[in-house]
Amino acid sequence: MKIQRSFDEERPTLYLVSTPIGNLADMTYRAITVLKDVDTVFAEDTRTSKILLDHYGVSTPLQSFHAYNEDDKAASVLKTLRHGKSVALVSDAGTPLISDPGARLVQVVLEEDFPVVPLPGASAALSALIVSGMQPHPYLFFGFLPQKSGARQKVLKDFKHTSHTLIFYESPHRLKKTLADMRTVFGNRNVTIARELTKKFEEILRLRLDEIENLPDLKGEMVIVVEGASADEAFTQSDLVEHVQTVIDDGESEMEAIKKVARLRKLKKNTVYMAFKQHKSQDDQE
């Protein structure tokens, strides 16, 4: 066991600093202080982050940190930490690591026993969730779905039976196709589209999936929040069996499918196993 007491630390530290998702005023005082105090700020796009840093009078040097150069950049973060200097990671917008680079960096920094400290702030996913009008928890944040319809539907099928509220990031040009796939897989459910959050044209659209033909063309950044499966959908035995069968049809072994369904529905593996076996033995007798 390793225990990090963030506010007693004297070792150089990696700070994960959240930044606004569109509204500059959503910066926290603590974020500004930390960005001023560290030796280097690693940023996804240094030009984007420079605008923010200039706005708040932060003159700390910036270095780029992209998903494609994460391993190389992780090495230079480690080098800075080993020289006794703290660093910050920011993404273009919102909370670093959340559909943004940084997860690998956190792993390697922890492996070398340097502290990692989170600075909370804006998050498109959580803002959309709390404004959706849907049950705020349990929720399941997925991020970006696959771009091709077949692969997208396959992922959506995994969540068809979960009662968790579902959160997805999506680009405007794929929105309608993704909603159509959701209607195919989930049937008719409530959906909230939270667009341009915190910005001048912020818009929250609440609709049912059978209304998507009436949806205007939407631009900008957006989050899709989908109502979870109803109690009936989530827990009837035939759905459970159908769910296991869908996962098997998608290429998993029977045992893996049972484990996966149990995990997704927060059920005991044995409950899913018994339901599936009982159904199979009925089928065999017929």
Q: Yes or no: say if 120 and 34 are a contact pair by the CB < 8 Å rule.
A: no
Parallel, antiparallel or unpaired: strands 139-144 and 165-170: parallel
* Using rule CB under 6 A, residue 100 touches ligand SAM: yes
3-state SS, residue 22: coil
In the complex, the smallest distance separating the C-beta of residue 100 from ligand SAM, rounded to whole angstroms, is 4
Q: Which is nearer to ligand SAM, 21 or 272 (CB)?
A: 21
What is the rounded distance in angstroms from the CA atom of residue 244 to the CA atom of residue 278? Answer: 13
Contact set for ligand SAM, span 157-176 (CB under 6 A): 169-171
Contact set for ligand SAM, span 214-243 (CB under 6 A): 221-223
Q: Yes or no: say if 129 and 139 are a contact pair by the CB < 8 Å rule.
A: yes
Residue 237 φ/ψ region, left for φ over 0, alpha for ψ in the -120 to 50 degree band, beta for the rest: alpha
* Using rule CB under 6 A, residue 196 touches ligand SAM: yes
* Using rule CB under 6 A, residue 62 touches ligand SAM: no
* Using rule CB under 6 A, residue 26 touches ligand SAM: no
Closest CA to 223 of 175, 273, 154, 268: 175
For ligand SAM, which residue has the nearest CB?
Answer: 94
* Using rule CB under 6 A, residue 178 touches ligand SAM: no
Contact range with ligand SAM by CB under 6 A, out of 26-34, 89-97, 211-219, 272-280: 89-97
What is the rounded distance in angstroms from the CA atom of residue 83 to the CA atom of residue 110? Answer: 16
Contacts of 39 (CB under 8 A, 6+ apart): 60, 61, 80, 85, 86, 87
In the complex, the smallest distance separating the C-beta of residue 199 from ligand SAM, rounded to whole angstroms, is 6
* Using rule CB under 6 A, residue 27 touches ligand SAM: no
Q: Which is nearer to ligand SAM, 12 or 22 (CB)?
A: 22
Interface residues with ligand SAM (CB under 6 A) are: 21-22, 91, 93-95, 98-100, 123-125, 169-171, 194-199, 221-223
